[in-house]
Structure 1
Amino acid sequence: MIKRIIKGSILADYRRRKVIVLLGARQVGKTTLLSELQEGKEKILSLNCDNADDVLLLEGKTTTELKYLLSSYELVFIDEAQRVKNIGLTLKMIGDLKLDTQVVVTGSSSLDMADEINEPATGRLIEYNLFPFSLPELADSSSEREEQRLLENRMIYGLYPEVVTEPGDAKRTLMTLTNNYLYKDLFAYKGIKKPELIQKLVRALALQLGSEVSYNELSNLLGVDKSTVENYINLLEKCFVVFRLDSFSRNLRNEIKKGKKVYFYDNGVRNAVLSNFAPLELRNDVGALWENLMVSERVKRNSYSGNFAQLFFWRTHEQQEIDLIEEQDGILHTFEFKWNGKARNNQPKSFANSYPNSTYEVITPENYWSFLK
């Protein structure tokens, strides 16, 4: 069993008597983590809202009915809660009851949950995100040396739990995941009229990995307006398929001020979208894969450690660039990602002069562990 980093934090939050919400893509291990969170509890109620009968137990209920349903249990799990209409209002009522019962809610997307939970239930929830395995989680289960040996495999096949635990079946697992699960919640969401357009957009984003994304170019490519492209990318973020970094701009006149880069939460999903699992020596996108792996791992690291640093990239119109800027407590930490450790760069002089208190580090396969911990 590979231990998830956030397990201890969730268990520690039981004492706060708030509803715990665990969000993450399908197949990242939420159900497995739920089973581990039962430790020391005997009276447990598990509801799976992919099951219509379980939805009916929660939908449209009064405070009195919810109290009657929940109060006799020590622990209540509500899985796939985004299936419940007005789930935010239901969770607000549960939170207001101040029961001794600990309620843990999961959702495979934040589509309806983000819209319906946050406002009604503000102050009553503790929210966590669960991602595919992180490299430190795997190293804790085996060793850094073993993960170093498997690094090229991780860059190609990614870190979804079933891919890691059943490596011989990785291609089939990833193709099934991308074809059957990746967009399931998104396609059920109101306003999605052209599922094939989403798939074309994801493929276009996969091809532009590590590059600045132009909504105008994507709209021309897909034959839809710019606002539709932006809306669909936003929905893909809420389904934990991709995430965006904005460009960093403060002092320099020639800094790109409105640029965006789009990364995938998992390298294996990105490669499955393109049906390309070729070894690194046969690829021309190794640098982009390394950058995506490191940026996504940093996102996991910051989320799991409660680090609320903001992430950006930086580029000028003269094509000077920095792959990642992390702003924390007023300090700028900047990083460049190089698969070839010999190709060392210095921080661009214009950036160093404008932001003299910033730090700079080149992250390579030889030194990345300190970046991830």
Structure 2
Amino acid sequence: MYIKRYLHDQILTHLKNKDGLDRVLLLYGPRRVGKTTLINQLIKDCSLKSKFFACDDPETRDLLSGISLAKLKKLVDGYDLLVFDEAQRIAEVGTMLKLLVDYVKGKRIIVSGSSSLDLSNRISESLTGRKITFLMYPISLAELLAEVGVDNLLVETDRGMRFGFYPYLYKLKEDKDIEDYLLELSQDYLYKDVLEYQHIKNPEQIRRLLVALALQIGQEVSFTELANTVGVDQKTIMRFVDLLEKSFVVFRLQAFSRNLRTEMNKSRKIYFYDLGVRNALLKNFNNFELRNDKGQVWENLLIVERMKRDAMKR
């Protein structure tokens, strides 16, 4: 089942209008959330002559890393749309993009990344005011509604609270295949960028932290307790949580207060971008009515769906 993503029309509008010229359309999102699929669909629909760079490929990385302006101009000559997929893999990516925007006029540029760990800083410094940022979430209930209709939405919601909303899951029919996919995803691959960027050779501490966070969704988080659970100091826990946020695995939500000073001092809750990943970490794919964590699962669903809805309104 193909599910049209809301970002498709938003990005396509920029590609077709003049405001997309000589600017970078920056597409962030978790790994396997469908960024490359979306980009390929946009390439088909925009009717622009396109050049696609798969930056996960070592040869492409070598080609683009430290490239001179003269070689860059020659490489992209004749193309209207340039796509750099997983651009965080390119050394000096900010410099390369700045060269394109400043000296190679008349191009539309899409840059995607599964992590904002390093890419955001390098691009922000060099492209201030010349980029438009989009965050791609797992599939939303609103997107599902457009495909399955009201009558089937409740079934899909129950399914989502078990398995989450990653696009590839909708190609799988058997629960066992879905569970195997999520168990594989919830291992090192999901937070590969954290391990590589911080040169963490033993991911066990990250895994223990994620399991602890999965058990605590809907509760105010104590970094001291997490440090004791994982067996590291509090500073390390705070660093790991920050890295997991920037890799779009979890996000923090601050408590609301009408008093700004009180709000700043209140604890935060931590939620998962996708419940399927969270349930895979706990190895618990039980149906919603059989779960002993119904309240936590429901709260996480409502929070992240509200974030998706807000993103759709931009």
> Could you tell me which amino acid in structure 1 is paired with residue 308 of structure 2?
K
TM-score (norm 2): 0.92
Q: Is the 8 A contact 2:218 2:271 kept in 1?
A: yes
Tell me which residue corresponds to 1:29: 34
State the secondary structure of the residue aligned to 2:109.
strand
Pairing of 1:28-107 with structure 2 (within 5 A): 28-38=33-43, 39-41=45-47, 43-97=49-103, 99-107=105-113
Structure 2 residue ranges without an equivalent (≥5):
none
Taking the aligned partners of 2:303 and 2:201, their CA distance within structure 1 comes to: 32
Q: 1:286 to 1:167 in 2, by over 3 A?
A: farther
Tell me which residue corresponds to 1:274: 282
State the secondary structure of the residue aligned to 2:158.
helix
Q: Is the 8 A contact 1:248 1:257 kept in 2?
A: no
Q: Is the 8 A contact 1:25 1:131 kept in 2?
A: yes
Structure with more of its chain in strand, by fraction: 1
Pairing of 1:244-255 with structure 2 (within 5 A): 244-251=252-259
Tell me which residue corresponds to 1:3: 4
Tell me which residue corresponds to 1:19: 24
Q: Is the 8 A contact 2:84 2:111 kept in 1?
A: yes
Give the alignment's Cα RMSD to 1 decimal. 1.9
Tell me which residue corresponds to 1:202: 210
Compare CA radii of gyration and give the structure with the larger one.
Answer: 1
State the secondary structure of the residue aligned to 1:297.
helix
Taking the aligned partners of 1:145 and 1:194, their CA distance within structure 2 comes to: 47
Q: Is the 8 A contact 2:138 2:165 kept in 1?
A: yes
* Identity within the alignment, %: 44
1:190 CA displacement: 2.5
Q: Is the 8 A contact 2:254 2:263 kept in 1?
A: no
Counterpart check, 1:225 vs 2:233: yes
Taking the aligned partners of 2:262 and 2:114, their CA distance within structure 1 comes to: 41
Taking the aligned partners of 2:290 and 2:59, their CA distance within structure 1 comes to: 51
Tell me which residue corresponds to 2:184: 176
Q: CA deviation digits over 1:232-272, x for unaligned, max 9?
A: 10100111100001122344998793301000000100000
- Structure 1 counterpart of 2:159, from 153, 163, 167: 153
Q: Is the 8 A contact 2:141 2:157 kept in 1?
A: no
> Could you tell me which amino acid in structure 2 is paired with residue 130 of structure 1?
M
Tell me which residue corresponds to 1:335: none
TM-score (norm 1): 0.78
Taking the aligned partners of 1:13 and 1:150, their CA distance within structure 2 comes to: 32
Q: Number of paired residues?
A: 306
Q: Is the 8 A contact 1:92 1:124 kept in 2?
A: no
Q: 1:142 to 1:118 in 2, by over 3 A?
A: same
State the secondary structure of the residue aligned to 1:212.
coil
State the secondary structure of the residue aligned to 1:213.
coil
1:191 CA displacement: 4.9
Q: CA deviation digits over 1:29-66, x for unaligned, max 9?
A: 11110111112435221111111111122110222322
Which moved further from structure 2: 248-257 or 117-126? 248-257
Pairing of 1:115-130 with structure 2 (within 5 A): 115-130=121-136
Taking the aligned partners of 2:260 and 2:241, their CA distance within structure 1 comes to: 29
Q: Is the 8 A contact 2:161 2:275 kept in 1?
A: yes
Which moved further from structure 2: 94-103 or 215-224? 94-103
Which moved further from structure 2: 295-304 or 162-171? 162-171
Structure with bigger RCO (C-alpha 8 Å, 6+ apart): 2
State the secondary structure of the residue aligned to 1:182.
helix
Q: Is the 8 A contact 1:89 1:121 kept in 2?
A: no
Q: Is the 8 A contact 1:134 1:159 kept in 2?
A: yes
> Could you tell me which amino acid in structure 2 is paired with residue 50 of structure 1?
D
Counterpart check, 1:137 vs 2:143: yes
1:71 CA displacement: 3.0
Tell me which residue corresponds to 1:296: 304
Counterpart check, 1:241 vs 2:249: yes
Q: Is the 8 A contact 1:70 1:101 kept in 2?
A: no
Q: Is the 8 A contact 2:54 2:84 kept in 1?
A: yes
Taking the aligned partners of 1:160 and 1:179, their CA distance within structure 2 comes to: 15
Tell me which residue corresponds to 1:261: 269
